[in-house]
Amino acid sequence: MLALSLALTPVFVIILFVYFQDKYSREPTLTLFVAFLLGIVSVIPAIIIEAVYEYIFHFTTGINNFTSVLYAFIGVGLTEEFCKFIFLRWYIYKNKNFTEPMDGVVYAVMVSMGFAAIENIMYVFSSSEPIFTAIIRSVSAIPAHATFGVFMGLYFGLARFTFKRKRFRYLLISVILAAGAHGIYNSFLFVECQYCPLITLAALIVFIIISLRIISRFKRISPFKKKFALLTHRKSAFSEEQRAINEKRKIELRKKLKNVLRRKNKNPQN
């Protein structure tokens, strides 16, 4: 139970973080949950395609560095990100709740977290040291999958709200960008190199910084930002305390008006 908790906790922490970043127009919980489930389902075709790659092309790690890098980019990176993209494109792209570029990032991360959750459980429970594996992956593989989702969501979100002639190109870039980042991350884990784990960590930190900047950028350009600010202002302006003050002022004005009318009635010449 502890291993399962450690495997899934970072997934839900990242989901909540991204959910609350989309503060101007949050997505329906049901749609997000379905996107998460589709991420889980996307593991199935990814496993099948990877198995076919290994059987036909003999992609694997440990043979030589070139084969390992090729396997990292094509056998794993491109395969997994393309499988995520297929479900993202099918369910989200025309969804009525997809209303701004930021939503592309949110939904892509949800699909990625569904994929990462099942992958993490598989790695943790197949390991001889599940607790150690869960802890290591919670600060490495899980955040990495989240950043791949942000990279995919960047151009996926832009594709939905750009000119028709650019949409296919942006969708293609979204897959290539995520697969490229995934390949870079895995390459340094697959090859035999003394300092490769440190390079992987450095790459992950860079990916996280870029991802946060992408999210910040989309928040700044959100078309719902002004509307959100206006609604927030109205909500605060008409709080219980403010309503009581306004009501008191209305009563005082009515009294003053009555006094003025009374004086005029007593002195009609004035």
Q: Tell me the C-alpha distance between 33 and 87, whole Å.
A: 13
Report the pLDDT value the prediction gives residue 4, as an integer from 0 to 100.
Answer: 82
109 in Cβ contact with 15 (< 8 Å): yes
Average pLDDT over all residues of the chain = 86
Q: Look-up: residue for tokens 């979204």? A: 174
* The predicted structure's pLDDT at residue 255: 73
Which residue ranges make up each domain of the chain? 2-223, 238-266
Q: Take residue 187 and report the two structure tokens written for it.
A: 């390459």
Q: What is the dihedral of CA 169, 171, 177, 180, to 10 degrees?
A: -100
Consecutive H or E run containing 213: helix 196-220
List of the chain residues with pLDDT < 70:
59-63, 226-246, 250, 253-254, 256-258, 260-270
Question: Could you give phi then psi for residue 257, rounded to 5 degrees?
Answer: -65, -40
Whole-angstrom distance, CA of residue 102 vs CA of residue 150: 10
92, 93, 107, 83: which is closest to 179 by C-alpha? 83
Helix (H, G, I), strand (E, B) or coil at 251: helix
Dist CA 172 CA 158 (whole Å): 12
Q: What is the pLDDT of residues 201-232, one digit of tens each?
A: 999 999 999 999 999 999 888 887 765 555 44
